[in-house]
Amino acid sequence: MERTIFESEHDLFRESFKQFVEKEIVPNNNDWEDNGIVDRSLFEIAGANGFLGIDIPQDFGGGGIEDYRFNQIMQEEFDMAGVAAAASGIGLHNDICIPYFLEFCSQEQRERWLPGLASGKYITAIAMSEPATGSDLASISSTAIKDGESFILNGAKTFISNGIISDLIIVAAKTNPEAGHRGISLLVLERGMDGFERGRNLDKVGRHSQDTAELFFTDVRVPSENLLGEMNKGFYYMMFNLPQERLNIAISAVAGTQYAFDLTLEYVKERQAFGKPIGNFQNTRFKMAEISTELELAWAFIDKCVLAHNLNDLSADEAAMAKWWTTELQKRAIDQCLQFFGGYGYMDEYPISRLWRDGRVQSIYGGTTEIMKEIVGRGLGL
């Protein structure tokens, strides 16, 4: 089925961005997987080509384009090239972190940070999860107590994407510990601040080229001018951007599943068993037909959500629906695709094995499937 949400400028952008991915990411992908981290130069090259901060105003070096379809195209091309892990740091930077800076920065902060975000000089991360706290953000224990013209930050964070490579980290901490979620603020932590330490680059099941770290704060003095937005409004700010974050994950899930399906369709047409291609067996045909149908449904819903998001009309419930359903589809469909590859599917040299590993986390980060269903259920008045 033809997708109808894109216009000619989107098609031209997709072609240009696809060339960037093929030139700058694909040839380095295996090395970055082995190293557990991408080169900083990737962000600088992306910035120089106009692929960072596409929605940052032109006065600050960005693209000045408020159309999420361009972000959608970038995420799709990352996954369709099989480099979603290596490129996920760019997606985090563009789709999850930059919106906080655009929405909540003061004019002084915009002048200080936005040009570097657009150029790739500053790489961003956001630190919410803690060792004892995952989806329940109201229960975080990190504190940032006001002390004169500074905040004294103490605590720890874990599972932080871009945790090793980042320069600016949005940290959620309690500035009023007695007020629960109403006492959370967002502070921008900068590389090199005294008392700020990064732990190890965590050894994950998949997404090896995406650096993921533990962060530790011991009496870190963060100047008041690094407070993002108003004090004690951090929880509400985090809720503001979660629909876009979850939509981004959903786009990645569908594109990643499509890439796995395309690889598998080619394989089952060529792989012989009992004298004929395995795609000729009824079970294979039926399973591939099921995945193909579900992909058509997923693409239609994702495109509908993107158009709604462009109109500021994407609800938290719809974003949660998109996130949980597409990521569960990704797990289920890629597992079936791997099965068709047989023993070869379990070998690292076959891309399907990496897609299987890398896709597993999609139903966990950004809010687990169970949390997404809870959001949808509450939206139904249950």
Catalytic positions are 245
Q: Which helix (H) or strand (E) holds 15?
A: helix 8-24
For residues 166 and 123, is the Cβ–Cβ distance under 8 A? yes
- Phi then psi dihedrals of residue 136, to 5 deg: -85, 80
* Lookup result for tokens 């058509």: 296
Rg (CA), the chain: 21
* DSSP symbol at 60: G
At position 173, the amino acid (one-letter code) is: A
Contacts of 374 (CB under 8 A, 6+ apart): none
Contacts of 14 (CB under 8 A, 6+ apart): 6, 73, 77
For residues 327 and 249, is the Cβ–Cβ distance under 8 A? yes
Give the three-state DSSP class for 272: strand
Q: 197-236 burial by CB neighbour count: b if 16+ within 10 A, else e?
A: ebeebbebebbbbbbbbbbbbeebebeeebbbbebbbbbe
Q: Tell me the C-alpha distance between 129 and 203, whole Å.
A: 17
DSSP of 137-157, one letter per residue? GGG---EEEEETTEEEEEEEE
* DSSP symbol at 224: G
Helix then strand then coil, in percent of the chain rounded to 5, is 60, 15, 25
Determine the length of the chain.
382
Give the three-state DSSP class for 78: helix
Structure-block tokens of residue 62? 């960005």
**Residue in 6, 77, 8, 80 with CA at minimum distance from that of residue 46:** 77
